Structure formats: structure tokens, C-alpha cells
Structure 1
Amino acid sequence: MVGQGLNSGTSVFIARMGGSTAFAGVLAAVFSAAAAAARIVCGPLVDRAGRLRVMVGGAALLLAGTLVPAVSSNDAVFVVCRIVQGVGFSAATTASATAAADVLPLSRLGEGIGYYGLGQALAMSVGPALALFLVNTDPAANLYLGLAVIAALGLVLAALCRYERNPSRLPATAAYRRLYEERRELEHDEARGGHGGAGPCAARVTDNRQARGAAPEPSARGLGRFFELSALPGALPMVVLSPAFGFGIFFVGLYGTSLGVVNPGLFYTLSALSMIAVRLKSKSFMDRVAPLKICTASTACGLAGFLLLLMAGSSDLAYYAAGILYGVCLGVSMPLNQSVAVKNTPAERWGAANALYLLASDVGIGVSSIVWGLVNDAAGFPATICCVMGCILAAWVVAWFSYPSTRRDRKKA
């Protein structure tokens, strides 16, 4: 909520303070660049230093970067704060995404990531609406004070994430517990035989790692040192699809206003409700249905939603119905792609895998904030919405080629 609120509210705050649109655009680009650059470091850092340390550190940076603009309106301070916000946002979200996957039972990994992703999806709907409310109060600096309160709550919750100290309390098939028990076995083997990890326990651990697709001794090189490239099957569809969500975040409210919709913000409320509903039902399909089939249903909802937007005209009902379908698409596709990325990756590299997945989302949404603005200025909202629908369809094509299950099905055929 803090990250999305800062993205949508900062430009309005700058305008209220008499700043230029160009400067607001620079601040948006600074945040996106800082967040993307931080992903490079945060992925391996989460795997090495631990989830709690990175999550708490990121939450603290996000709190500091949000609170300072409330007391200083200097342009240079704003730029620095946007950098701090971007780094903190990346660290906290990368660590929390990895922690969520760590503690889930293996058989319900997709369902659990769906529940975790509900927080991401709701933030993309609720955060902008809250920020716009706060920035339009008097004084406008209430935007940063209000978001700082939420950031402080995030810091407290992050500090309560203590499972790394007692992995035995996790489900028996949880990845973090399995890795912990494997390390214990290796240490026990070394203590008993002094074989440097070459005893029977080590052999059993190696067999277990190979059975679940993990490399016996991970030794990534090049770009793989920072990102887990085996997560690309989930990250590639996301980078193509996320511009559609960027349009929803940055432009749907403006589009509704241009149509004369009575309450454009209701689009976000209805999308949030539909996201909650579909996530609560995720148990029935997320781990039981082939990913491509789920992706196909999500794609159909997304296309139908934006088609309704395109045809809305003066119909408030069509505009609101589009919000419901948009919420279903967002609520399914984000955890689906994340679960594909995680399931295709050794547990030892989940931090780097989540960094790559989240970077794909950051890049898609960040670039779309510029591209859709240019397209809209040149050709209007109808042309922009058609381009958005093209992104949704293209993401399905990418998923068809990249999802692991799809490749296996084609080989069998």
C-alpha cells in the first residue's frame, strides 16, 4: 500500500505544491530505477543474510523515505527520498515474497502464494485510492504522514516474522524446514564420521535435492548470481502482462472521469472485492489445474474487462463491471506467475527467483506509466485500451511457450 500510494500520490502532491509535471515524471522514474537496481542486490542477499534482516531493513528504509518528505519540500530531498523508497520497497517485497513461499506446505504452494498475492493485488487497488484521498486533504503533506503510519505498521509486522529461528514449527514439507533439516543431517554426518559431508546422510540429502530438481551444489555465474534464471517461465509472461495492470493503476480513474462516470473510484473497490473472492476460491484450482488453463481463463477475463471499458461510453454499469473482471484477472495472474516462477526454482534460490519475478512486474508497470501516457496523448483512450488488450493476449502467448507444463504436454503429444 505504501509503495503504490507513493507512486500515485507523489505526482498530485508535486502539482499541489506548484511543481511541474516533468519533475513528477522524474521522481517516478527515479523510484522505478532504484527499485529495479535494488532487486539485483536483494535477491542473493535474501538467500544469504536471511529473510528477516532484509525485510526489516527494507521496511525501515521505506518508513524513513516516506516520513522525510512530510517535513521537507526541497527538490533534492525528494529525489533522495524516492531512491530510498525504491530500495526499501524492493528489499521488503523481495524478502516477504520469499518468506511466504518458505513456510507453505509443498502441496498447497500455489494456493498459499495466492493468499500472499492478495496483499499485492489489494495494494494496487486500495493504495492509489487512499493516497489520492490523503493528498487532497489539508495540508497535502498528510499523504506522507498517513503512508508513514502504514509503513510503521509494516515494520512492526516484518519484525514478527521469526520462523527462521525455529523451522521445526513449520509444516513438514515446507521448503525452509526441509533445507534446515538437510543442513542438520550434513552437520550430524560430519560430526560422526568426519567425511566432510560425504557420508550416508550427505548421500541421502543429495538424492532428496535431485528428486525435487535442485542442483547438488548451486554455483551460479554471471547474471545468475543475482537472478535465478529458472524463474523466467513465470517472469516472462508477467513482464508482458504487467503493463495492463499499469494502465489500471495510473489511467483507469482518469478514463472514468473523462467518460463522466459518477464514481470512478468504485472501479478499484469492485476490483478489490473480486480479487478477494477469487483468492478465497484458489484452493479449488491453483494447485490442481494446469497453469496454462488457469492463465487462459484469466486472459479471457482481462480481455472481457478491457473490452467493456472500451465500450463503456456513458454506461457507468459497464465501467463498474469491467472493474470486477479486471480484479479477477489481476487476482489470478499475479500469484499464478509467481507460483510458476517459484515451483520451477530450487528452494535454495527462491530469493533470487522472487527478485526476478518482481523485477519483471516493476519494469512492466514502470515502463507502461510512460508509454500509455504517450499513446493516449497521441491517439486517445480507445487506442490505448486496444494496446492494453494486445499486451494481455501477448502474455498468454508467452505463457504458452514458457510454462514448463506446456512444454511437457507438447513433448508428450
Structure 2
Amino acid sequence: MTNQQEPIWTKSFISIAITNFFIFVVFYALLTLLPIYVLDALDGTSTQAGLVITIFLLSAIIVRPFSGKVIENIGKKKTLVFSTLIFALSSFLYMLIHHFNVLLLLRFFQGISFSLATTVTGAIAADLVPAKRRGEGLGYFGMSMNLAVVAGPFLSLTLHQYMAYNIIFLVFGMIMLVGWLCGMMVKNLQENAAPSVKKSFSLSDLFEKKSMPISSVGILVSFSYASIISFISVYAQSLGLIKTASFFFVVFAAAMLISRPFTGRLFDKSSPNIVIIPSCIVFAIGLFSLSFTHSSWMLLFSGALVGLGYGTLLPSFQTLAIQAAPAHRSAYATATFFTFYDSGIAVGSFVLGIAAGALGYSKLYFALGIFVLLITLYYKWIANLRQKQKAANIQVGMK
């Protein structure tokens, strides 16, 4: 079959991409608004404002390893419908929260549905994309999450200027209901059945072992990227560029959008290394550029480099993680990858915050640029091991 006979943009693929987009729009919108809400409406402290973010990520990370097993037992379509509906309903519940401790409980609960929803959308997208176009297809799918990085905070901060908190939470809930309806439009999926063998609980019930090597590269990259989402606004403010910072992720998204069709096709038709290694280097150059930034154009130029580099790495690593696993383990592979990815963001936000206090943001970004170059060497080592394993498997098959 040719690529023309195996389309990516089917009705179900578009529906699952839109669902994923709305999930992350609401996620990033809440990520932006809730710290302000805690300080303003609940008279909380800055520590409490940070805790509403941490508790959500903590629950998502705890549940993520179990999500593959849940999806396998319930089925992808049922998990999609159930988890997105719970995520939508819990978004409405913010309207009823007036105490900080109750807010923490809601955040923990919503983190569970977020973990399931984002795992199953990735697994479904991998199943819907033609195998020979998986790098390109998952690259397009990954854009739904990266675009939400811009849309979510923009929506949140814009609505905050004109609406009361309860109305904003109502809007978030309605947005997610639309995402749930889009998920309902995904065709009934033919589940990839694993051999039915009873066995005791093992590591494979939580993680896909074959996806762990590339996921270990992903956690290092997401650790580095945590410095961007956590501190770019603070760094820009210290440079007197806070107005420019609002356009940082716009440029980030634009660079990613322009490059994605090219890099996705190159990933499929050539070699992952040809896409990933240059993307790592571009990401590192973006971090170096940030460390020397003193003007608006340099900040935006850095945003373009980070968008071009990191924006290509995330879907590339996710694709490799899924390709490493058997077809019936796509949900486990997705869960494994995002368990590592989420952990990198969570740990990075904490550890790099301490490092920034000791080094300053300029030196921190320079150090992370060097760190990403070292990650490139680590990825190359992992890729070489993968190639040797493939060659060994071929030789065994020929005997």
C-alpha cells in the first residue's frame, strides 16, 4: 500500500487529536489560573499556590504506570469516554470549591482522570496512524499538546481580565465537554488482544520494558524542558522582558508548526537519528541562546530554537517508544513513556528551581545546554544498542 492509500487524517484521528488538544488546553489553562486563584480568592500563600500544581502532577505520575493495565482491561474506547467525561465534570467542580484542602482533593482526583485520558489518547492515535507513517502521524498528533501550551495560558489570562472565577471554570468545563463529544466520535476500536495467559503481578503490568530505554532519554529531555515552562516568565521579568515573554510560546508553536510536516516525513522515510540528533543540538543551542539573552529579539529567537528542537523531540521519542513494543502493548508503551516524561517535568521543576537560586537563570540555561548535548551522546548510545539488537534478531531469524 502507498502512503496515499493509508491516510493519516481520518475522521477518528482528527477527533482524537481534537480531544487531546482540549484536554491539554484545560490542563494548561488551570495550570496558569489556579495559582492566581489560590492567592486571590482563597487568600493562600505562594507555597499553597505551588502545591495545587504539584499535587496534580503527583497523582498523574502515581496512576500513569497502572493506566496501561486499566486500558487493557476496560478497552481503549471505554477508557477514553470515561476518563474524558470525569476530567470534564471535575473541571466544573472548581466552581463549588471555597476551601484550599478541598481544592487539593479535587486536584488529586482530576490528576487521575488526566493520566488515564492522556495515556489512552496517545495509544489510540498510535493505533489509528498507518505503521509506515507513524513518525509523521504522531508528530501531527503531538502538535495538539504543543499548541495547547499557547492556547491554554492565553485563554486563562484573557478570561481572567473580564470574568469571575466561577464563570471561567464553567467555560473550562464546557470546553472539555466538547473534547468528550469529540472522543465519542472515534470509531469503535478493534483492540489488539494479548495472549491470554494467567500470571502473577509483574513489572510488565506497569511498564513496557522494551520502551524503557528510549523513555530514559525522554525523562532527561523533559527534565531540561522543565526549566522553560517553570522559569521562562521569571527569567524574562528579571531581564525586563516580561511583555515579550507572552510571545515566547507563540514563536515556539510557530517554529514547531512550520517544521513538523518536514521532520515527521523525514523520520519515517530516513532514520530517526537524522531527526533526533540535530533536534537535540538545536534544543541545546536554544538553551545557550537563552543564557545570553538581553533583548526581546534574542528571547523570541531562543523560543523559535527551543520550539524547533524540543518540539520535534517529544513526538519522535513517543513514536520510538511505541515502535519498540508489540502492537497489543501500545497502551503500556504510551504509559511508560509519559510516566518518565511527567517525572522529568516534576523533578526538573523542583531541582532546577534550587539550581536557579544558586546559579542564577543565565548560568542555569547555559549548564542545561551542555546537559542536552550530553543527552545527545546518551541517545546515540541507546540507538546503537537498538540497532545491534535488531541485527541480532535478524540473524537469529535467518538460522
Give the TM-score band, short-chain normalised: 0.7 to 0.9
The answer as to whether partners of 1:47 and 1:350 remain within 8 angstroms in 2 is no
1:395 to 359, 364, 375: 375
1:227-246 matches, cutoff 5 A: 227-246=207-226
CA 1:300–1:120 in 2, change beyond 3 Å: closer, same or farther? same
1:277-313 C-alpha deviation (Å, 9 max, x unpaired): 1222234302123222311111111111112211111
Q: C-alpha displacement at 1:131, in angstroms?
A: 2.6
Q: Name the SS for the 1:295 alignment partner.
A: helix
- The letter of the residue matching 1:112 is G
Match of 1:363 in 2: 343
1:79 to 81, 101, 104: 104
1:46-82 C-alpha deviation (Å, 9 max, x unpaired): 1232111111221122112222122322112201110
Q: Name the SS for the 1:408 alignment partner.
A: helix
CA 1:128–1:387 in 2, change beyond 3 Å: closer, same or farther? farther
1:11 to 35, 49, 58: 35
Whole-Å Cα distance in 1 between the matches of residues 111 and 341 of structure 2?
14
Whole-Å Cα distance in 2 between the matches of residues 404 and 95 of structure 1?
30
State the number of aligned residues: 366
The answer as to whether partners of 1:233 and 1:403 remain within 8 angstroms in 2 is no
1:211-360 matches, cutoff 5 A: 222-261=202-241, 262-313=243-294, 315-360=295-340
1:41 maps to 2:22: no
CA 1:347–1:378 in 2, change beyond 3 Å: closer, same or farther? same
Q: Name the SS for the 1:263 alignment partner.
A: helix
The answer as to whether partners of 1:243 and 1:388 remain within 8 angstroms in 2 is no
CA 1:75–1:285 in 2, change beyond 3 Å: closer, same or farther? same
The answer as to whether partners of 2:213 and 2:382 remain within 8 angstroms in 1 is yes
Match of 1:101 in 2: 126
CA 1:344–1:325 in 2, change beyond 3 Å: closer, same or farther? same
Match of 2:82 in 1: 57
Q: TM-score, normalised by structure 1?
A: 0.82
1:332-366 C-alpha deviation (Å, 9 max, x unpaired): 10110001101110011111110010111111111
Structure of larger gyration radius: 1
Deviates more, 1:95-104 or 1:257-266: 257-266
Whole-Å Cα distance in 2 between the matches of residues 384 and 132 of structure 1?
28
Deviates more, 1:231-240 or 1:383-392: 383-392
Identity of aligned residues (%): 23
The answer as to whether partners of 1:292 and 1:406 remain within 8 angstroms in 2 is no
Whole-Å Cα distance in 1 between the matches of residues 389 and 69 of structure 2?
33
2:152 to 127, 147, 150: 127
Q: C-alpha displacement at 1:118, in angstroms?
A: 0.9
Whole-Å Cα distance in 2 between the matches of residues 128 and 247 of structure 1?
17
The answer as to whether partners of 2:68 and 2:205 remain within 8 angstroms in 1 is no
Whole-Å Cα distance in 2 between the matches of residues 90 and 391 of structure 1?
28
What is the RMSD of the two structures over their aligned residues, measured on CA atoms? Answer: 2.4
Match of 2:365 in 1: 385
1:164-199 C-alpha deviation (Å, 9 max, x unpaired): 1xx5xxxxxxxx6xx4xxx7xxxxxxxxxxxxxxxx
- The letter of the residue matching 2:277 is T
